[in-house]
Amino acid sequence: MKLKNWKKNMVAAGVLITVCAGIYLNWLYSGSGNTKDLTDTLDAQKVMSEDMLVLDESLVEVGGDEVTTVTDYFAAVRLSRQQARDNAVSLLQEAMAYGESNEVTTSSAQLEEIVQTALCEAQIESLVIAKGYADCVAYMGEKGISVAVASPEGGLQDTDVALIADVVMSQSDLTMSEIYVVEVP
């Protein structure tokens, strides 16, 4: 009998050690310090609200390696946007798994909205880049869309803004007054 209890305790201890080691390794390699957060580059004045991101030319450092800085800017914004979406999706999936039927319906609708928004943003970004701009990032909120575009030679002209707005309107149900085009030098 003692031998049987000893074996059970050893198996339980082994499982506990394995789970703790897995949690530690996950924490160690996912490290919150390894990824840049959008709040590192933006301050409270740059973010109007949770649903509308305001981009500004001052976010990009002008220096010897300007192309890398602009590329890093677009990559950081995309990464931050994706992390926020991933967190929202995981919370909604959790609510769907453990919630009541009305919560599941609401969570499912919100999840579908997130997917549609992400798809629309990706299509807009792809089409703007296909029109000849170096890089682009789109952020849709409840009040409209912000489209940050890498500045072409000579800067953005009215025709450029009209072309970008046309792409946005063709891919969404937004009006001209809900579209914000920002030039990133």
**What would the two tokens of residue 166 be?**
């046309």
What is the number of other CB atoms lying within 10 angstroms of the CB of residue 135?
Answer: 18
pLDDT per position as a tens digit, 111-167: 888 889 999 999 999 999 999 999 999 999 888 999 999 988 888 899 999 999 999
- For the segment 58-71, the average pLDDT, to the nearest whole number, is 50
- pLDDT score, position 69: 65
Is the full-model pTM beyond 0.75? no
Q: How crowded is the C-beta side of 21, counted as CA atoms within 13 Å?
A: 6
Query: What is the dotted CATH code of the domain comprising 37-184?
Result: 1.10.287.4300
Q: How far is CA 49 from CA 33, 53, 116, 138, in A?
A: 25, 7, 21, 16
pLDDT greater at residue 182 or residue 57: 182
The answer to which of 71-75, 82-86, 122-126 has the lowest mean pLDDT is 71-75
- For the segment 67-87, the average pLDDT, to the nearest whole number, is 81
- pLDDT score, position 2: 60
Domain ranges of the chain: 1-30, 37-184
| Averaged pLDDT score across all residues of the chain | 77
